[in-house]
């Protein structure tokens, strides 16, 4: 004989369309159970307000549906299964309420019409939540803007640091070049002083160019004045003999 099936009937006594999500659990998956007080919006029959904890992963795929105002729906379950419901009133709640209710097929389940005071309270809470969400979004956007600005400043600082490093290197190169030029000028000055200071190497100094500087012969490496600088010259025509 096949397994018997039962139906959990849910009635909507309110003027709002109700959206529900029903989770069906194996009875063996219940790991904790305690009794609780009644909840304002949802009337229940015997045992309908029990709080139960279930082993995660033991539930079947949830059934999602809608109940029209003053309408009913049937959820098919067998006698060994439990049902947990989440719900919200369309045009009143913004999403599923935090309340989660547990039932069996032996329970009577219905949704009551909220009182005007409760409707006002819910709408005020919705407005407060919307304002909070807007503020959180604004804060999030502002934090993102600050983060981007900080990143831009960081990049600008890196560009400045690289430019300063480039300038520092340029200054170092200029300093090195100035030092090289200074050394070259010093060398040339020393060479000039040497040319002026060294006397003509000839033995015929009475013929030397007066007031002139001496130059080094590339062959014999001695220094001579202009008159005696020419190589292998004659005694009377100036020059000198390399030796």
Q: Is residue 10 part of a domain?
A: yes
> Which strands, in side-by-side order, build the sheet including 42-44?
42-44, 109-111, 6-12, 72-77
Residue 197 pLDDT grade (very low, low, confident, very high; cuts 50, 70, 90): low
Same domain? 109 vs 120: no
Our count of domains for the chain comes to 3
Taking the C-alpha atoms of residue 151 and residue 145, their distance in angstroms, rounded to an integer, is: 10
Residue 89 contacts by C-beta under 8 Å, 6 or more apart in sequence? 14, 16, 17, 18, 41, 111, 114
* Residue pair 66/19 in contact by the 8 Å Cβ criterion: yes
**33 occurs within a structural domain:** yes
| Range from 33-47, 94-108, 170-184, 229-243 that averages highest in pLDDT | 170-184
Each residue of 124-146: pLDDT tens digit?
Answer: 988 888 899 899 999 999 999 99
Q: Is the residue at 209 inside a domain?
A: yes
Does 185 lie in the same domain as 216? no
- Residue 129: per-residue pLDDT: 87
Non-local (6+) Cβ contacts of 240 within 8 A are 201, 202, 217, 220, 222, 224, 228, 229, 230, 231, 232, 233
Q: Decide which of 114, 137, 166 is a domain's last residue.
A: 114
Residues 183 and 202 in one domain: no
What residues make up the domain containing 219?
Answer: 198-243
Lowest mean pLDDT among 7-16, 87-96, 101-110, 165-174: 101-110
| CA distance linking residue 41 with residue 112, whole number of Å | 5
* Residue range 112-124: mean pLDDT, rounded: 90
- 183 and 210 assigned to the same domain: no
- Does 119 share its domain with 67? no
Question: Are 134 and 209 found together in one domain?
Answer: no
Say yes or no: 132 and 92 in one domain.
no
Same domain, 187 and 221: no
- 56-90: pLDDT as tens digits: 435 567 889 999 999 999 887 766 567 888 888 99
Burial string for 173-197 (b: 16+ CB within 10 Å, else e) reads eeeeeeeeeeeeeeeeeeeeeeeee
Q: Is residue 1 part of a domain?
A: no
Q: What is the model's pLDDT at position 162?
A: 95
How far is 146 from 2, CA to CA, in rounded Å? 66
């Amino acid at each position: 004989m096949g397994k018997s099936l039962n139906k959990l009937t849910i009635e909507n006594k309110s003027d709002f369309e109700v959206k529900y999500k029903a989770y069906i659990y194996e009875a063996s998956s219940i790991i904790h159970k305690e009794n609780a007080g009644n909840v304002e919006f949802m009337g229940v029959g015997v045992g309908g307000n029990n709080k139960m904890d279930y082993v995660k992963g033991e539930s079947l795929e949830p059934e999602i549906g809608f109940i029209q105002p003053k309408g009913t729906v049937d959820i098919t379950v067998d006698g060994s299964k439990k049902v947990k419901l989440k719900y919200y009133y369309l045009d009143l709640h913004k999403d599923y309420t935090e309340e989660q209710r547990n039932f069996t097929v032996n329970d009577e389940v219905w949704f009551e019409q909220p009182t005007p005071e409760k409707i006002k309270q819910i709408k005020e809470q919705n407005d407060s939540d919307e304002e909070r969400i807007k503020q959180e979004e604004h804060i999030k956007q502002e934090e993102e803007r600050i983060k981007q600005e900080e990143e831009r400043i960081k990049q600008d600082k890196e560009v400045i640091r690289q430019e300063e490093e480039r300038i520092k290197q340029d200054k170092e190169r200029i300093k090195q070049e100035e030092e090289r030029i200074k050394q070259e000028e010093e060398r040339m000055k020393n060479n000039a002083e040497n040319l002026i200071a060294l006397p003509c190497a000839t033995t015929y100094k009475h013929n030397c160019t007066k007031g002139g500087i001496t130059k080094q012969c590339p062959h014999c490496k001695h220094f001579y004045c202009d008159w005696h600088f020419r190589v292998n010259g004659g005694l009377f025509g100036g020059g000198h003999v390399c030796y």
